[in-house]
Amino acid sequence: MKEFIINENEAGQRFDKYLAKLLREAPKSFFYKMMRKKNITLNGKKATGNEKLFSGDHVKLFLSDETFEKFSGNDSAPRAHYALDIIYEDENILLINKPAGMLSQPADDGTPSLVEYLTGYLLKNGSLTENDLRTFRPSVCNRLDRNTSGLIAAGKSLSGLQELSGMFKSRELHKYYLCLVEGVLKEERYIKGYLAKDKKSNKVTIYKQEKENALPVETKYYPLGTNGTRTLLKVELITGRAHQIRAHLASEGHSIVGDPKYGKADKKLKGQLLHSFRMEFPSMKGSLSYLSGKIFTAPLPEIFLRTLKEDKLEESYYENLE
């Protein structure tokens, strides 16, 4: 017999969803049959699977060790280790300053991503245990391109993960970027278009007019300063499509400096000078209400600051943002 006590990261979900994670290798028919026969019980009673779980609930599995091991599997959560730059952390969420060159989410080739580094970090500091990972996996809630740096939000509790994901989906959480673009821009603009992605080339195209299989995109930018050749922009991401800022600005004739895909590569740079520097939380209720109206920023990478200094745009950055 195995006994589990529901914790806060497991509460709030249906009992059958929990069992599907705990017995990830079992067909659903198996644990429904076990519930009917009272070989799986909730708080000592027969269950149907649609019950909502609460912290402190008791789950008993009257299964042999062999059966439990067979259906729980040996699929441990992938993890890796890296000295993450944590901008903010509490019991529900983390805000991480991702460096350029790091993947946001796992890749097919097995290259470690921020998700694996996040898991390794939380295991090391004791926020999660191996047992917790049977039924809950921490994850990031927004993505940045591999060579884009800056703020990524992650959930370290189930409620934090759910509420953060909801805010990104509803666009209530406002995200701002800094980028250095080719050309001169002097007035703020709100630009719209339609984005179509070619999966084979992993490249997107922006169209001015509506097009089949193209998604609407909206981007707002604010010039902070220009040296007559390049312009430092603050960009507000209204929609959040793949490569949106890079492709949208390039379609306007102002590619991001160092962008090999939508502009011109620069041997001195690892990639595009695009940095997610600011997140503004909305007024909200729920488990993250304590973050209402909070603003978090991530400092620019050294290479970005050095390029601004070389281009005589360093003052434009500090005058407008510091």
Q: How many domains does the chain have?
A: 3
Q: In terms of Cα–Cα distance, which of 190, 177, 171 is closest to 281? A: 171
Asked if residue 61 is part of any domain, the answer here is: yes
> Domain with 123 in it: what CATH number?
3.30.2350.10
List the alpha helices (DSSP H) in the chain: 15-22, 28-36, 65-72, 114-124, 158-170, 244-251, 302-310, 314-321
Residue 81 in any domain: the answer is no
Does a structural domain hold residue 78?
no
Which among 22, 41, 72 is the end of a domain? 72
- What separation in angstroms does the CA of 248 have from each of 37, 198, 204? 58, 15, 9
Q: What pLDDT score does 322 carry?
A: 55
Do 120 and 164 lie in a common domain?
A: yes
Q: Do 180 and 317 sit in the same domain of this protein?
A: yes
Quick one: pLDDT at residue 74? 61
The upper half-sphere exposure of residue 169, i.e. CA atoms within 13 Å in the direction of its Cβ, equals 6
225 φ/ψ angles, rounded to the nearest 5 degrees: 170, 155
Q: Which domain holds residue 18?
A: 2-72
Q: Which of 144, 170, 196 is the last residue of a domain?
A: 170
Indicate whether 313 and 187 sit together in one domain: yes
296 shares its domain with 187: yes
Q: Are 109 and 46 part of one and the same domain?
A: no
CB-based contacts of 165, cutoff 8 Å, min separation 6: 141, 155
Same structural domain, 116 and 201? no
CATH number at residue 30: 3.10.290.10
Claim to verify: residue 157 and residue 104 sit in the same structural domain: yes
Domain membership of residue 77 (yes or no) is no
Would residue 79 count as lying in a domain? no
Same-domain pairing of 201 and 243: yes
Structure confidence at residue 232 (pLDDT): 98
Q: Which of 145, 198, 266, 311 is catalytic?
A: 145
| Cβ neighbours, 10 Å, residue 210 | 9
Q: Are 269 and 302 in the same domain?
A: yes
Tell me how far apart the alpha carbons of residues 55 and 57 are, in angstroms, rounded to a whole number: 6
Mark whether 11 and 92 lie in a shared domain: no
**Amino acid, single-letter form, for residue 116:** E
Residue 240 in domain: yes
pTM of the full structure: 0.86
Q: How far apart are alpha carbons 94 and 156 in whole angstroms?
A: 7
Residues 100 and 42 in one domain: no
Catalytic, 145? Answer yes
Query: Per residue of the chain (322 residues), what is the pLDDT tens digit?
Result: 899 999 888 888 899 999 998 998 899 899 899 999 999 999 999 999 999 999 999 999 999 988 988 888 766 788 999 999 999 999 999 999 999 999 999 887 788 999 999 999 999 999 998 888 888 889 999 999 999 999 999 999 988 999 999 999 999 999 999 999 999 999 999 999 999 999 888 899 999 999 999 999 999 999 999 999 999 999 999 998 999 999 999 999 999 999 999 999 998 898 899 999 999 999 999 889 999 999 999 999 999 999 999 999 999 998 877 5
